[in-house]
Chain A
């Protein structure tokens, strides 16, 4: 696969006959090489340009335009930015909810995924059953899972509060309470933590057994073994789980929308518009706001501003996590 490149130094002896045979051959070789490289890169280049480069340029462009997707766009300077950042009351709650979900949901999912991964690698009997039981919820369609959770956690008719009532606990109103709606969504995401369990399980099984044996000989306890043997090996996987978790949660949309819609009890017919965020904007996320602005109100400029804000935050968080001193990149030897 290695390709030997004709170097400038290697080409210099041929310069004696400038514009003649050897020089032209060299040029042809270089061009051929460039085309070959471009050919191999082209699928990525095309994909990147069409699905990332162009949309990004377009998003920046429209963030300075008034555009209702019917009339021609017109330049409005920073009006959309001012509107989103200073005049739109839902921006603050949406951003706060998104950040809250990123911090709490991602952290808890990683902890639970790792914990269950460790559990299923340790147990001796019924391994297949437990692995299947923990993984299956992940396969449930998000809408169906959310509908089921809203039913289970219904404050009046749901079985969870009924059971809590039997043991003398007055259960919260879950998805109907602004303080409990986000934690309820976190519960839903923890129920479907099977994806992380699988990758953590694979990485835990990949830790060399000899290192545990050596640690045993040194008299290391469970905590020390996790700290000095397991953790250094699985940190790249933890980094992967955190970064993908952050990016996914920044795009959190469906579950919050469905839960809010069903719990609100508001009927949605052909003439009505789904208002996300029930109760009291506590489940409103930035992607929901982007959709609402862009494809319900057709305020394309403001929707683009929000998208860019989300993009910048996601990039910043990812770069922060990718720093070596963030503790998730293993030190090079």
Chain B
């Protein structure tokens, strides 16, 4: 009798476990777009801004929105990372946000393909918004994946070259470099060494781990093609990628070598502190986004500085003015049951010209609509305007979205770190292996 009970209990236990498994796997929650946006509602809005000035600006934006839509209250939560948003939307529950933002465009492919962020095309169609006319093409491209427009740009970031005008004057350099060969020559002139050979100031630090120096951002100057028409990685077959690594290695070697630059980098303070290498004049030229200008002003930089586009390869001199583009994106959580009200907030933040201009001026970001980019209300600061020009340059580019999110960029970064440390003796063979790896990762992410 006891034996029978044990025998019968085992399948029951396993059955219960299986039931639990299935219960745990169910889609956490499904939202709807059947709500009436004119009815009173409270929206939960998660964003990534954390700096006091930025929080003040986004709160002011929300206040303006609430004034226009008195029935909609917005409860905002700041300093939320992509990981947190990803995990919260998967976990579901009543506290999950209705409107979400991401500070990177890397994950848009994953948000769209998984259905985690709702498709915004039906909402735009309903309101008669022609997205191709409202948003610049590059920005529109990085907020969609395979036709699913699950995000919209909420201000953009353009990358350019900050340079120390005092250092340039002392080194006898009249203007910022335009081509890679000029760039290397100027970088060498601006580099200073101590008696023991250690670098005390780098003309330009090409090290990929420095602050915003992610290799994909620098590679944008070459205009690479990451994937072929079949979606297969083709970094090994694109000669621009090889040229890029050679150019970075040449600058590094000409200045004293990677390790010496790494030793200099190890002494830098945090990027967003007063210990920043450029602010400390340990870097004469530096790749950064448009927000750095405001920070340099706030920190009271003790030198004159300017902004120019990052140089381009010598054989692509006509593309000078280009730069890497990215930005904050926003969308509606798939689990939101107030999607129509959520759309009102997304629409206001992303398409209302005055709002976009005000917000861009407040946090020193590049506006993300064509109308806002052309607005006379934009701050006249020439250093900021330089980024507007980079954003409008026809050769400026962003990374292509992938179902795997930014995983291929992570793999590319890993490879680049190894390459700059001398770990990749045969560049082409290494890139071939990297392509194979990216393809395997992408295949793994497919259902």
A324 CA to B178 CA in the complex, in Å? 73
Of the stretches B145-153, B221-229, B243-251, B259-267, the one at the interface is B259-267
**Using a CB-CB cutoff of 8 Å, which residues 400-428 of chain B contact chain A?**
404-407, 410, 413-414, 417-418, 421, 423
Asked, given contacts A58-B24, A267-B271, A270-B103, whether A154 binds B266 with beta carbons under 8 Å apart, the answer is: yes
Of the stretches A61-69, A112-120, A206-214, A249-257, the one at the interface is A61-69
The residue on A at minimum CB distance from B211 is A267
**Using a CB-CB cutoff of 8 Å, which residues 78-114 of chain B contact chain A?**
79-83, 86-87, 89-90, 102-104, 110, 114
Looking at the assembled complex, report how far the CB atom of B283 sits from the nearest CB atom of chain A, in whole angstroms.
Answer: 13
The residue on B at minimum CB distance from A70 is B114
A243 CA to B209 CA in the complex, in Å? 38
The residue on B at minimum CB distance from A69 is B90
Of the stretches A18-26, A196-204, A271-279, the one at the interface is A271-279
Looking at the assembled complex, report how far the CB atom of A257 sits from the nearest CB atom of chain B, in whole angstroms.
Answer: 13
B440 A87 Cβ-Cβ under 8 A: yes
B413 A154 Cβ-Cβ under 8 A: no
Interface residue A288 (Cβ < 8 Å from any Cβ of B): no
> Count of chain A residues with Cβ under 8 Å from any Cβ of B?
49
With a cutoff of 8 Å between Cβ atoms, the chain B residues found around residue A299 in the complex are: 444-445
A272 CA to B114 CA in the complex, in Å? 20
Interface residue A53 (Cβ < 8 Å from any Cβ of B): yes
**Using a CB-CB cutoff of 8 Å, which residues 50-66 of chain A contact chain B?**
53-54, 57-58, 61, 66
Asked, given contacts A70-B90, A265-B265, A271-B103, whether A61 binds B21 with beta carbons under 8 Å apart, the answer is: yes
With a cutoff of 8 Å between Cβ atoms, the chain A residues found around residue B89 in the complex are: 70
The residue on A at minimum CB distance from B415 is A89
**Using a CB-CB cutoff of 8 Å, which residues 132-157 of chain A contact chain B?**
154-157
A270 B82 Cβ-Cβ under 8 A: yes
With a cutoff of 8 Å between Cβ atoms, the chain A residues found around residue B266 in the complex are: 154-157, 173, 176, 263, 265
Asked, given contacts A156-B263, A265-B210, A270-B103, whether A275 binds B83 with beta carbons under 8 Å apart, the answer is: no
Interface residue A72 (Cβ < 8 Å from any Cβ of B): yes
B48 A270 Cβ-Cβ under 8 A: yes
Interface residue B170 (Cβ < 8 Å from any Cβ of A): no
A272 B209 Cβ-Cβ under 8 A: no
Interface residue B116 (Cβ < 8 Å from any Cβ of A): yes
Looking at the assembled complex, report how far the CB atom of A266 sits from the nearest CB atom of chain B, in whole angstroms.
Answer: 6
The residue on A at minimum CB distance from B413 is A275
A87 CA to B443 CA in the complex, in Å? 11
A263 CA to B267 CA in the complex, in Å? 10
Interface residue A73 (Cβ < 8 Å from any Cβ of B): yes
A155 CA to B272 CA in the complex, in Å? 21
Interface residue B173 (Cβ < 8 Å from any Cβ of A): no
With a cutoff of 8 Å between Cβ atoms, the chain B residues found around residue A42 in the complex are: none
Range, interface on chain B: 35 or more
**Contact among A72, A79, A88 for B25, CB-based, below 8 A:** A72
Looking at the assembled complex, report how far the CB atom of A202 sits from the nearest CB atom of chain B, in whole angstroms.
Answer: 41
**Can you list, as one digit per residue, whether each of A272-301 has a CB less than 8 Å from chain B (1) or not (0)?**
110100111100000000000001111100
**Contact among B114, B406, B414 for A71, CB-based, below 8 A:** B114
With a cutoff of 8 Å between Cβ atoms, the chain B residues found around residue A176 in the complex are: 262, 266
With a cutoff of 8 Å between Cβ atoms, the chain B residues found around residue A264 in the complex are: 209
**Contact among A49, A53, A68, A83 for B114, CB-based, below 8 A:** A68
With a cutoff of 8 Å between Cβ atoms, the chain B residues found around residue A266 in the complex are: 209, 211
Looking at the assembled complex, report how far the CB atom of B279 sits from the nearest CB atom of chain A, in whole angstroms.
Answer: 14
A275 CA to B445 CA in the complex, in Å? 19
The residue on A at minimum CB distance from B79 is A270
A156 B267 Cβ-Cβ under 8 A: yes
**Using a CB-CB cutoff of 8 Å, which residues 368-413 of chain B contact chain A?**
404-407, 410, 413
With a cutoff of 8 Å between Cβ atoms, the chain B residues found around residue A157 in the complex are: 266-267
**Can you list, as one digit per residue, whether each of A35-46 has a CB less than 8 Å from chain B (1) or not (0)?**
000000000000
B17 A54 Cβ-Cβ under 8 A: yes
Interface residue B447 (Cβ < 8 Å from any Cβ of A): yes
A54 CA to B22 CA in the complex, in Å? 12
Interface residue A74 (Cβ < 8 Å from any Cβ of B): yes
With a cutoff of 8 Å between Cβ atoms, the chain B residues found around residue A72 in the complex are: 25-27
B83 A296 Cβ-Cβ under 8 A: yes
Asked, given contacts A66-B447, A299-B444, whether A154 binds B209 with beta carbons under 8 Å apart, the answer is: no
Looking at the assembled complex, report how far the CB atom of B265 sits from the nearest CB atom of chain A, in whole angstroms.
Answer: 6
**Contact among B27, B405, B418 for A280, CB-based, below 8 A:** B418
Looking at the assembled complex, report how far the CB atom of B97 sits from the nearest CB atom of chain A, in whole angstroms.
Answer: 14
Number of A-B contacts (CB under 8 A): 125
**Can you list, as one digit per residue, whether each of A296-329 has a CB less than 8 Å from chain B (1) or not (0)?**
1111001000000000000000000000000000
B437 A267 Cβ-Cβ under 8 A: no
**Can you list, as one digit per residue, whether each of A74-113 has a CB less than 8 Å from chain B (1) or not (0)?**
1000011001000111000000000000000000000000
Interface residue B20 (Cβ < 8 Å from any Cβ of A): yes
Interface residue A221 (Cβ < 8 Å from any Cβ of B): no
A49 CA to B87 CA in the complex, in Å? 25
The residue on A at minimum CB distance from B446 is A66
Interface residue A47 (Cβ < 8 Å from any Cβ of B): no
The residue on A at minimum CB distance from B103 is A271
Interface residue A219 (Cβ < 8 Å from any Cβ of B): no
**Using a CB-CB cutoff of 8 Å, which residues 49-101 of chain B contact chain A?**
49-50, 79-83, 86-87, 89-90
B263 A57 Cβ-Cβ under 8 A: no
B48 A269 Cβ-Cβ under 8 A: yes
Looking at the assembled complex, report how far the CB atom of B26 sits from the nearest CB atom of chain A, in whole angstroms.
Answer: 8
With a cutoff of 8 Å between Cβ atoms, the chain B residues found around residue A68 in the complex are: 114, 445
**Contact among A54, A70, A83, A273 for B116, CB-based, below 8 A:** A70
B444 A83 Cβ-Cβ under 8 A: yes
**Contact among A58, A89, A278 for B21, CB-based, below 8 A:** A58
Q: Quick one: which of B25, B27, B115, B262 has the most chain A CB within 10 A? A: B25
With a cutoff of 8 Å between Cβ atoms, the chain A residues found around residue B210 in the complex are: 265
A298 B268 Cβ-Cβ under 8 A: no
**Can you list, as one digit per residue, whether each of A150-183 has a CB less than 8 Å from chain B (1) or not (0)?**
0000111100000000000000010010000000
B444 A70 Cβ-Cβ under 8 A: no
With a cutoff of 8 Å between Cβ atoms, the chain B residues found around residue A34 in the complex are: 2
The residue on A at minimum CB distance from B267 is A156
A271 B25 Cβ-Cβ under 8 A: no
With a cutoff of 8 Å between Cβ atoms, the chain B residues found around residue A263 in the complex are: 266
A264 CA to B421 CA in the complex, in Å? 14
Looking at the assembled complex, report how far the CB atom of A307 sits from the nearest CB atom of chain B, in whole angstroms.
Answer: 16
Looking at the assembled complex, report how far the CB atom of A105 sits from the nearest CB atom of chain B, in whole angstroms.
Answer: 25
With a cutoff of 8 Å between Cβ atoms, the chain B residues found around residue A298 in the complex are: 86, 90, 110, 114
Interface residue B270 (Cβ < 8 Å from any Cβ of A): yes
- Ordered by A's residue number, 13 sampled pairs between the chains whose C-beta atoms are within 8 Å are A58-B20, A69-B90, A70-B28, A70-B334, A80-B444, A87-B437, A155-B266, A265-B268, A267-B211, A269-B103, A275-B410, A279-B417, A295-B86
Q: Which 7 A-B pairs have the closest CB atoms?
A: A271-B103, A270-B48, A156-B267, A271-B104, A267-B271, A69-B90, A87-B440
* Further pairs besides A71-B115, A270-B49: 20, Cβ < 8 Å: A66-B446, A66-B447, A70-B89, A70-B90, A73-B25, A80-B444, A87-B444, A88-B440, A89-B437, A154-B266, A173-B262, A173-B266, A267-B272, A271-B102, A271-B103, A272-B104, A273-B406, A295-B87, A296-B83, A298-B90
